[in-house]
Amino acid sequence: MSVQTAKKRVAILISGRGSNMVSLIEAARAPDYPAEIVLVLANRPDAAGLTRAREAGIPARAIDHKAFSDRTGFDAALQAELDAAGIELIVLAGFMRILTDAFVEAWAGRMINIHPSLLPLFKGTHTHERALEAGVRLHGCTVHYVVPELDAGPIVAQAAVPVLPGDDADALAARVIVQEHRLYPAALALIAGGGAVLDGGRVRLAETEHDAGAALISL
Ligand code: GAR
């Protein structure tokens, strides 16, 4: 007999088109998926992902960061929305706004991000251009817990893709995003279901989840 536990209440934070958000919303439709996407927030009113979320039936709101004089005010508004919706886990999906250390620390162990590189390589922006410049043969994406230092938190999952002759940044980005859409739902499922836990600054898989752990690595 399987024990049915409550689904984790998840908010997705976006800034743009929201393709990762869509892949998470679709995965979470499965009856046995351990997380429920209950809210989408964007820091830009023109984020295309807001419309996509509403079309999928998810409440979606913009909190325009330009309406706040500092990061603390914006983060307080964010926190109020998250509290009102009873959010347990935050998933950053193309959210391009730096959060205050205080906000990040308040959500320690309960906020994850996807980054378009094989961390710890190529933290920050323009990762595909920089991978090409560096001449690496493998590139990819990483799901990690968020800590105050940018793109530096414990790694949950990674997928690698080859860098092929003739690639430009767009071609490489197109290959990476396919993996992002597969990896992020798998990583969220393991975290929300308790199969992946933080342990001394690293992510440890529960012994019962070692098979599922294969979904967190892809070559
Ligand atoms: C994704 O490639 C994601 O990895 C990246 O932004 C893109 C968002 O696309 N995130 C970062 O660069 C975070 N530093 P999406 O809006 O279609 O999901």
Predicted local distance difference test score (pLDDT) of residue 59: 98
Token pair belonging to 141: 């994406």
Report pLDDT for 206: 80
Q: What's at 26, amino acid-wise?
A: E
pLDDT, tens digit, 9 for 90 and up, residues 169-199:
999 999 999 999 999 999 999 999 999 999 9
Q: What is the pTM of this model?
A: 0.95
- Given the CA of residue 95, which atom of ligand 1 is nearest to it? 13
Residue 115 bears catalytic tag? yes
**Distances in Å between the alpha carbon of 76 and those of 63, 79, 93, 96, 157?**
11, 5, 20, 17, 30
Mean pLDDT of 2-8: 77
Q: Are 156 and 144 in contact (CB under 8 A)?
A: yes
Helices vs strands, H then E, count in the chain:
6, 10
The average confidence (pLDDT) of the chain is 94
The share of the chain scoring above pLDDT 70, in percent, equals 94
Average pLDDT over residues 58-82: 97
Amino acid code (one letter) for 56: A
- What ligand 1 atom has the least distance to the C-alpha of 114? 4
Residue ID of nearest Cα to ligand 1 atom 3: 94
Q: Mean pLDDT over residues 193-210, rounded?
A: 87
The alpha carbon of 207 and the centre of ligand 1 are apart by a number of angstroms equal to 31
Helix (H, G, I), strand (E, B) or coil at 218: strand
